[in-house]
Amino acid sequence: MHDRSVKPLRRVDLARATGCNLETIRYYETVGIMPDPPRSAKGYRSYDETHVRRLKFVMRSRDLGFSLEEIRELMGLVDNRTQTCAEVQAVAESHLKDVQAKIADLARIERVLSETVARCTGDAAPDCAVIDALLEA
């Protein structure tokens, strides 16, 4: 339902209000992260503040590294008004474990690259410690 006192937003207005790219909004609609907006009598998409809040939620979730599937799960809990803090916490804890694993992987990568680059002479010789390390794999 639209409040008639509030002017409906076009997709470009939604993009401006959220800082989200137009193509990204289209994509989120295609994959079902954003609901299809109602249409005006002339057939134009008609967004409102609910869409702005939802898109900001999606964007913030993406900023925190949540996958679209995780976002879909969180939004399903919200949309169905069945969420409990425990359910949301379970999704967030699972994501946190993934983030921690990625950080550990990045720390290992940093250590190996640091050691390899430190062995590199950087001169004009054809032999290179970085290439040698890559060939070892």
Sketch the domain layout of the chain as residue ranges. Answer: 11-83
How far is it, in rounded angstroms, from Cα 19 to Cα 93?
Answer: 28
Tokens 């690259």 identify what position? 113
State yes or no: pLDDT of 3 exceeds 60: no
What the block records as the tokens of 26 is 């289209």
For the entire predicted model, the pTM comes to 0.75
Look up residue 58 and give its amino acid.
V
Place of tokens 């909004």: 25
The label of the residue with tokens 């993406």 reads: 62
pLDDT one-digit tens code per residue, 14-71? 999 999 999 999 999 999 999 889 998 888 899 999 999 999 999 999 999 999 999 9
Fold of 11-83: Multidrug-efflux Transporter Regulator; Chain: A; Domain 2 (1.10.1660)
* For residue 1, pLDDT beyond 50: no
What's the rounded Cα separation, in Å, for the pair 48 and 13? 10
Query: What does the alpha-carbon distance between residue 100 and residue 108 come to, in Å, rounded to a whole number?
Result: 12
pLDDT by residue (tens digit) across 97-128?
999 999 999 999 999 889 888 887 777 777 78
The pLDDT of residue 6 is 65
Q: Give the confidence band of 4 by pLDDT, cuts at 50, 70, 90.
A: low
Rounded Cα gap, residues 78 and 119, in angstroms: 53
